[in-house]
Chain A
């Protein structure tokens, strides 16, 4: 084999190890960095500005939240085509609830509505999960039915009328002028995040020595914390650098972005470090082995869809609050964006393989391209064509990469 390729592999392996990431994720982050740089140049210096990055983080939040759930669904060798229709339906439901049933300026309207929307997602996920797991209907069929059913339901329950405006507190959940936590609290979150990283690294080190396993050198641990710390500080600084229009008050981290980060961390931890996630991967890789190991694969499948539905409810809250309106057409085609993000992120449609972080980076790459192209004034149909090509190329590279890794 070409020695340059071998050396490159080892270098990338070492960088990945230093940062605590797997090599593929590192590759994706490099691609994202390259895309960002290219877009920055092509947009005449507009892309890598606090304002645009702030907007980008908001724009990716809805797809990102859903992708976290979709990765697990696809890993378990199923698919959920109904997610776009779910957020359309749940969004209109929530808008109806706060506009027609609850007092629009009631103090508890926002959390009652939010709970109802989460509950709706949970129930939809439960229904679909039960049909897939216990009635044995392929998930493609069940969720295709869900796509049709809930898209039409989204028009039916409000006669297609767009419902606006919404409760003011509820709107905060979608970002907007007041929908951030402000500079001060952003730094607090940043500090807490770095402390959490340091703690986890330390605990990992303790555990490894407790079990007599090889550890990194103290220098390597420090480097790990440093890399993550810099990334977190950098992110927070960018969010704080974006100032409220017509003032010099920094905005800080938007609430939907906090929600996205929280969901990403939780879902990634569940996928990699929790029994539930481990069993999902086992089931996706070889469901017979999972059964023989004593795993109730049917109950597990239901849970996977319940989690997906819950995340759809959460995404519906964010998109409806952000738009400040419940519109029946919202979410159309979103399932395709989500699946594309997951697949670009390394999730295999054959099941058993995939990462949550990869899916988020996939979503970021797609959204960056889309938003960047609008900054460049590219006509819409051309944008769509470019994104389609990117998806194909990304998966192609992934196939080649996996083959090379194996040999």
Chain B
């Protein structure tokens, strides 16, 4: 009886520890006052990309003698507020925040300002004059994606598969896409025949949505503008079932599986953001801010509400069949992974 009770308590405790412990990751170091420390609040660290950003950040912080401390909000805006509070209480010299929700994060920004800790809004915009916005030019993401697509096909019936409707960043991607597509729509060359937002950017939901759209349009679809790689995987599966794999299809993030599809000619483009470089830029800026210097290379940026904030916007790169060497040369993907299963018409790096 007692053994079972003990086991039960241990199990309950373990569940609690796993739940809590999987989110806070404080590096092993002393909380000495004045020690050089940069705090990073991730919104959902486990997604494919952020490891690379983190590696970029650390690659600049460590040689400069700075400590890296982070927390993972696991997609919960409330948790992110607590995370930032905890991080601030460990004495940050500067904070890098990748916001889960741009509006809900405001109290954390104000808290940092009150604590005298400069804040970098990382990748996701925060509408405040008190933060420095360091990101890829997300509007450029949409623009480059669409430009690569119209280079292959600039007319016909297009389908838009957009990201989760609750995330405001899709507005930036969409704005960039429309910069390129709208004139063609106005000229009557392109028609957007269907549009769906995919909850949580889930690939399997994108697949089902695309199946329905293809049914609705009786397969008369000429191109699909998918906002990220995960969803483009679902779209590819749906196209494949209708023997339509190979029509222009876009994505974002440079997923290895997608690069492989591009090499095989089954996808047109993925907008690649070398997030290692972004991490480095943010770390560099954070050190400058921690030392009270102005951020070098910053330009003013106007937010949605018309507020001006300092910013650094890096340019993403559209990876298509023609420039796959870029991702191989930068060690983002190995040649084996890129060329796996490429039989006919291999791109340059696979020859």
Contact = CB atoms under 8 A, between A and B. Distances in A.
Whether the complex brings A and B within 8 Å at their CB atoms is answered yes
Interface in B177-217: 194-204, 207-209, 211-213, 215-216
B257 A164 contact: yes
Contact of B219 (A59, A176, A245): A245
B230 A162 contact: yes
A55 B46 contact: no
Contacts of B242: 245
A181 to B, nearest CB: 16
Interface stretch (B7-15, B60-68, B145-153, B311-319): B7-15
B123 interface: no
A384 B341 CA distance: 39
A60 to B, nearest CB: 10
B197 to A, nearest CB: 4
A327 B233 contact: yes
B37 to A, nearest CB: 26
Contact of B207 (A144, A152, A322, A377): A322
Contacts, number: 149
A155 B215 contact: no
A46 B229 contact: no
A148 B211 contact: no
B261 to A, nearest CB: 8
Contact of B19 (A136, A145, A332, A370): A145
A160 B199 contact: no
B216 A375 contact: yes
A52 interface: yes
Nearest to A246: B243
A218 interface: no
Contact of B209 (A176, A244, A325, A374): A374
Contact of A59 (B200, B211, B340): B211
Contact of A176 (B48, B203, B241, B341): B241
A375 B230 contact: no
Given A328-B46, A374-B212, A381 B204 contact: no
B248 interface: no
B22 A152 contact: yes
B233 A371 contact: no
Contacts of B7: 135
Contacts of A43: 216
B268 interface: no
Interface in A127-171: 131, 134-137, 141-142, 144-145, 148-149, 152, 155-156, 159-165
A380 B199 CA distance: 8
A175 interface: yes
B262 to A, nearest CB: 13
Nearest to B202: A329
A43 B7 CA distance: 56
Contact of B200 (A134, A141, A156, A333): A333
A210 to B, nearest CB: 48
Nearest to B233: A325
A322 B203 contact: no
Interface in A356-407: 370-371, 374-375, 377, 379-381, 384
Nearest to B264: A165
A330 B204 contact: yes
B257 A319 contact: no
B8 A136 contact: yes
A363 to B, nearest CB: 14
Q: For the side of the interface on A, what is the size category?
A: 35 or more
Interface in A240-298: 244-246
B8 A177 contact: no
Contacts of B207: 322-323
A375 B218 CA distance: 11
A159 B237 CA distance: 23
Contacts of B234: 323
A332 B255 contact: no
B200 A329 contact: yes
B46 A165 contact: no
Interface in B242-288: 242-244, 255-257, 260-261
A323 B209 CA distance: 13
B240 interface: yes
A385 B213 CA distance: 20
A51 interface: yes
A97 to B, nearest CB: 16
B47 interface: yes
A236 interface: no
B257 A377 contact: no
B165 interface: yes
A135 B4 CA distance: 6
A113 interface: no
Given A59-B208, A145-B18, A374-B196, A324 B215 contact: no
B204 A323 contact: yes
Interface string B104-134: 0000000000000000000000000000000
B212 A371 contact: yes
A85 B6 CA distance: 28
Interface in A49-103: 49, 51-52, 55, 58-59, 62
B11 to A, nearest CB: 6
A323 B260 CA distance: 16
Contacts of B201: 329
A137 B12 contact: yes
Contacts of B261: 164
Nearest to A134: B4
13 contacts: A43-B216, A131-B11, A155-B47, A164-B261, A175-B241, A245-B244, A324-B233, A325-B237, A327-B202, A327-B203, A327-B204, A371-B208, A381-B165
Interface of A: 43, 46, 49, 51-52, 55, 58-59, 62, 104, 131, 134-137, 141-142, 144-145, 148-149, 152, 155-156, 159-165, 175-177, 244-246, 319, 322-325, 327-330, 332-333, 370-371, 374-375, 377, 379-381, 384
Given A152-B22, A246-B243, 5 more contacts: A141-B15, A162-B257, A322-B204, A330-B204, A374-B212
6 nearest A-B pairs in the assembled complex, by CB-CB distance: A155-B46, A164-B257, A145-B15, A374-B212, A160-B48, A380-B197
